Amino acid sequence: MQYRFYYWPMIQGRGEYVRLALEAAGADYVDVAREPEQSGGGIPELLKVMQSGDDERPPFAPPFLKAGKHFISHTPAILLYLGERHRLAPSSEAGKMWAHQLQLSITDFDKEIHDTHHPIASQLYYEDQKKEAKARAGDFLEFRAPKNLGYFEKVLERNKSGDGHLIGKRLTYPDLSLFQIVAGLRYAFPKAMRKLEKKYPRCVAVHDEVAAHRRVSAYLASERRIAFNEMGVFRHYEELDARG
Ligand SMILES: N[C@@H](CCC(=O)N[C@@H](CS)C(=O)NCC(=O)O)C(=O)O
């Protein structure tokens, strides 16, 4: 089956957690909004699906995935679905729920990262909330990033059989998402992360393991991987990073 994946074409954003899973699985998928408009792609196609008036289960926002007759939105729900079908999740019910819980923690963390540059309102520009962003980013780097990274470090430490994985002995989708968090924080807050990440060696090891994964490393080197930029979740604003 060929998946149809829908997300904003100019950013990694929340869609990147899904792209990483599709790529690690070697799944057959079309990144619809990145296809040319004349071949039925582009943002118009994304909007068409969102604005279609006859869908009984309309999505609130991208990302979403068409998988045969299923139409799934919300990153953790998409990953719950893909994880089971592509051996990117444990097979037991308890293991699947654990992977889902870790992904929900990633989602909360991702939102806190987003709010460092948009603490007041998503529809305002960063430039309209710079003062508040500075305060929020300071709090984030001092308290929230350590608390969130510390949580994943603890999970890794307690997974005795882990060997560089959050769950069990093999790669699961929360590992891919933790990779994205570490890579994104390095982009957004390079100075702060140079200090911070020394305290979370297991999180860094997951990052390195995922980056070296055969399919993921090919993806990261390809044009399919959109570069980090100042439109996505992880944005680099010099003034929000810690002083060196
Ligand atoms: N909980 C959703 C969040 C989806 C979301 O916030 N999507 C953003 C782009 S990353 C969006 O387009 N939001 C539009 C809006 O909130 O109005 C998920 O995890 O996928």
**pLDDT confidence of residue 135:** 97
For residue 244, is pLDDT > 60? no
Alpha carbons 110 and 178: distance in angstroms, whole number: 10
177 lines ligand 1 (CB under 6 A): no
Nearest Cα residue to atom 9 of ligand 1: 62
Please indicate whether residue 74, judged by its CB atom, sits closer than 6 Å to ligand 1.
yes
Q: Which of 187, 63, 18, 200 is nearest to 116 (CA)?
A: 187
- What percent of the chain clears pLDDT 70, i.e. is strictly above it? 99
Question: Residue 215: what residue type?
Answer: R
How many angstroms separate the alpha carbon of residue 63 from the centre of ligand 1? 7
Q: Does the Cβ of 83 fall within 6 Å of ligand 1?
A: no
How far away, in angstroms, is 105 Cα from ligand 1 center? 16
- Region 224-237: what's the mean pLDDT? 98
Residue 144: the pLDDT is 98
pLDDT score at 15: 98
Q: What tens digit of pLDDT does each residue of 81-124 get?
A: 999 999 999 999 999 999 999 999 999 999 999 999 999 999 99
Ligand 1 lined by 63 (C-beta under 6 Å): yes
Q: Indicate whether 44 pLDDT > 90.
A: yes
pLDDT band of 57, cuts 50, 70, 90: confident
What residues are paired with 64 via a beta bridge?
6, 73
Query: Average pLDDT for residues 128-149, to the nearest whole number?
Result: 98
Rounded Cα distance between 199 and 99, Å, is: 24
Looking at residue 13, its pLDDT comes to: 97
Confidence at residue 221, expressed as pLDDT on a 0 to 100 scale: 98
Is any ligand 1 atom within 6 A of the Cβ of residue 13? yes
Pocket test for ligand 1, best of 7, 8, 14 (most atoms within 8 A of CB): 14
Tokens representing residue 103 in the block: 């992904």
14 lines ligand 1 (CB under 6 A): yes
Q: Give the chain's mean pLDDT.
A: 96
Residue 183 corresponds to which amino acid? A
Cα(186)–Cα(196) distance, integer angstroms: 10
Measured by CA distance, the residue closest to atom 18 of ligand 1 is 74
> Which residues have C-beta within 8 Å of that of residue 124, sequence separation ≥ 6?
118
122 to 1, 33, 116, 119: CA distances (angstroms): 36, 22, 11, 8
HSE-up (13 A, CA, CB side) for residue 26:
4
pLDDT > 80? residue 23: yes
Q: What average pLDDT score do residues 190-201 get?
A: 97
Kind plus residue range of the DSSP H or E element containing 64 = strand 64-67
Q: What atom in ligand 1 is closest to the CA of residue 15? A: 10
Smallest Cα–Cα separation from 226: which of 73, 25, 13? 13
Q: At 156, is the pLDDT very low, low, confident or very high (cuts 50, 70, 90)?
A: very high
Contact 82, 103 (CB under 8 A): no
- In the reported structure, the alpha carbon of residue 36 is separated from the centroid of ligand 1 by a whole-number distance in angstroms of 23
Q: What is the pTM of this model?
A: 0.96
Q: Tell whether the model's pLDDT for residue 14 goes beyond 60.
A: yes
What's the rounded mean pLDDT across residues 140-147?
A: 98
The percent of residues above 90 in pLDDT, for the chain, comes to 92
Taking alpha carbons only, the member of 167, 159, 150 closest to residue 98 is 167
State the pLDDT at residue 127: 97
| Distance in Å, CA 133 to ligand 1 centroid | 20
CB 67 within 8 A of CB 3: yes
